[in-house]
Amino acid sequence: MPVFPAKTPKLIQLLFPKYIWKKESLDKTIYLTFDDGPTPEITQWTLNTLKQYNAKATFFCIGDNVKKFPDIFNAVVEAGHVVGNHTFNHLLGWRTNTEQYVANTEKAQDVIALKSKKLFRPPFGKIKGSQAKILLKRGYKIVMWSVLSYDWEVKVSQEKCLKNVINHATSGSIVVFHDSIKASKNMQYTLPKVLEYYSKKGYQFKSL
């Protein structure tokens, strides 16, 4: 079951001020993000759904997936979305030595270098201080989140996934979804409803 709360506590944000947890926004804007793609079975559906609402998002891509599915990756970019780095092999930072972790991140960056702003999201949200220090020094912006949908968690129902977002996301929130097979059931139920719900309230969706 969930380890992190759906809404990131302010204390956590204050403890790690060098990470990006939300965006200051004077207008009604929400920042949707999608981790773990590109995925042949899911990513194009995600792009089509976002397009229906003129929504832009940020896709944190796994380097190995980019290498395997370059056409899908290019479709993300051509649709006007921003892409970020999610390591080459979806490494868990807490269980990976710093040298290997940084090298794996740079390997992913080499694949997406021409398309990326050097945005980085650590898989699982777990990164050592030593790893973060080096990446920040090398110009990466470490992007975390304000709200977790928990779309990947099989014990979280579709309805709960939706509530995780609409009960917590406000202007400036960075919301985490996944364009992965594992998360597809919850994500494909929740995303259209989130887009419709906030669009009716006058919100827009932008990339980071």
Q: Tens digit of pLDDT for each residue in 72-126?
A: 999 999 999 999 999 999 999 999 999 999 999 999 999 997 777 899 999 999 9
Residue 2: is its pLDDT beyond 60?
no
For the segment 170-193, the average pLDDT, to the nearest whole number, is 98
Q: Per DSSP, what are the bridge partners of residue 83? A: 59, 116
Residue 3: is its pLDDT beyond 80?
no
For the segment 20-24, the average pLDDT, to the nearest whole number, is 95
CB 168 within 8 A of CB 198: no
pLDDT for the residue numbered 116 = 72
pLDDT for the residue numbered 1 = 45
Active site residues: 35, 178
Burial string for 81-110 (b: 16+ CB within 10 Å, else e) reads bbbbbbbbebbebeebebeebbebbbbbbe
For the segment 38-42, the average pLDDT, to the nearest whole number, is 97
